[in-house]
Amino acid sequence: MLFQVGEKVVYPNHGVGVIENVSSRSFGALDERFYLLRLTCRSLTVVVPVSHVVDLGLRKVTRNGEIDKVLYFLANTACKLHSCWKDRFKENSDKMQSGGLLQIAEVLKSLLVLQIAKPLSFRERKMLDRARHMLISEIAISRSIPAPEVAQMLQNALTKASLALPASL
């Protein structure tokens, strides 16, 4: 998958970024192309080899159709919970690494449901916050609307499922 300078992309588990530059470097006889990616949430710059884009899951920002599926899921779909913390954390970590918007919504909703039954561990609270941030930032960029408006949209969907979007940590 090739990206252009200025294109907005999602770097799984880190969020939305902008391709700032495409460069080449030589390592002996091997030439490798790299994307210089600036993550919008932390102003962090990441260098991603073009040959590893698929392995890392770097992808274009989600389109509106997928966002509608996410909102429907948050409002209507039940989610399964693992009773074992280790299995639950592993599954949620894998979903966050996948970088798919629907998988991130699954993590958010499952942790919100779990939070009703018992307090979340520190690592699960951090994951919930990261999932919240990633959903809000990607939907805001995809639909070109402010983050507070997206947070309200997510809250409206979650209210239908008797859940509440937490404030950022």
pLDDT in tens, the chain (169 residues): 689 999 999 998 888 999 999 999 887 788 899 999 999 877 789 999 999 998 888 999 988 889 999 999 999 988 877 778 889 999 999 999 887 899 999 999 999 999 998 899 999 999 999 999 999 999 999 999 999 999 999 999 999 999 999 887 6
Q: Which residues contact 137 (CB under 8 A, 6 or more apart)?
A: 15, 16, 40, 41, 147
Q: Which CATH number fits domain 8-60: 3.90.1010.10, 3.40.50.280, 2.40.240.10, 2.40.10.170?
A: 2.40.10.170
Fold of 64-160: Methane Monooxygenase Hydroxylase; Chain G, domain 1 (1.20.58)
- Phi/psi of residue 19, nearest 5 degrees: -70, 115
- Domain ranges for the chain: 8-60, 64-160
The whole-angstrom separation of Cα 23 and Cα 43 is 20
The model's pTM: 0.88
